[in-house]
Amino acid sequence: MSIHRFHGRIAGVGSTSGVRVVVGSWERTPLGSFGDAMVETPAGHRLLLAPTAEVAAFIETTYSFDEVRLEPFEVNRVGDAWQVRSPSLTLDLSVGPRMPLGRLLRAVPSRVAASPAWATVVDHVARVAMRGVRTRGTDLEG
């Protein structure tokens, strides 16, 4: 089993119409720097927007999608503002203040926070505290 470390940020937003978007802004990864997004329609159709076939293939080992589009993808972050641009998606969002749990987790030293053991321990808490959130797992093949 190999471990792949990605350093970056993820932002998720939802709309009253039922559209959900999760954006990744990755500064350091085994695949280089890139941005990507998952867009889910109210009907549950999941679309991956990725900048390259290599990025899409890697993401598809972990998540399943109904459709994949390879297209130029850009995420610009300035302070709390994110500008997301691709031929299929234009999104401007502002990230709110860190919640109490986030402030507590931010105090964990990065060496500890990046360890598989820590991810295993906090996974149990995350599952209860934030429905649907996982801090560790495997790809679709196990």
How would DSSP label each residue in 1-19? ------EEEEEEEE-TTS-
pLDDT at 137: 64
Same domain? For 30 and 66 the reply is: yes
Is residue 108 a part of any domain in this protein?
A: yes
Convert the pLDDT of each residue in 30-61 to its tens digit.
999 999 999 999 999 999 999 999 999 999 98
- As a whole number of Å, the end-to-end CA separation of the chain is 10
Residue 36 and residue 102 in one domain: no
Question: pTM of the predicted model, to two decimals?
Answer: 0.84
The reported pLDDT for the residue numbered 1 is: 60
Q: Work out the average pLDDT over 12-21.
A: 94
Q: Total domain count for the chain?
A: 2
What is the structure's pLDDT at 136?
66
Q: Does 142 reside within a domain?
A: no
Which pLDDT belongs to residue 127? 78
pLDDT in tens, 100-142: 888 888 898 988 888 888 888 888 777 777 776 766 666 666 5
What does the block give as tokens for 47? 């679309």
Could you tell me if 61 and 104 lie in one domain?
no
| Concatenated DSSP letters of the chain | ------EEEEEEEE-TTS-EEEEEEEEE-TT-SEEEEEEE-TT--EEEEESSHHHHHHHHTTS--SEEEE---EEEEETTEEEEEETTEEEEEE--PPPHHHHHHHTS-HHHHTSHHHHHHHHHHHHHHSTT--S----TT-
Task: State which residues form the domain around 11.
Answer: 1-96
89 shares a domain with 111: no
Residue 60 lies in a domain: yes
Do 83 and 123 lie in a common domain? no
Q: Is residue 141 part of a domain?
A: no
- pLDDT of 18: 95
One domain for residues 83 and 118? no
Q: Give the model's pLDDT for residue 138.
A: 62
Answer yes or no: do 39 and 105 share one domain.
no
pLDDT at 3: 77
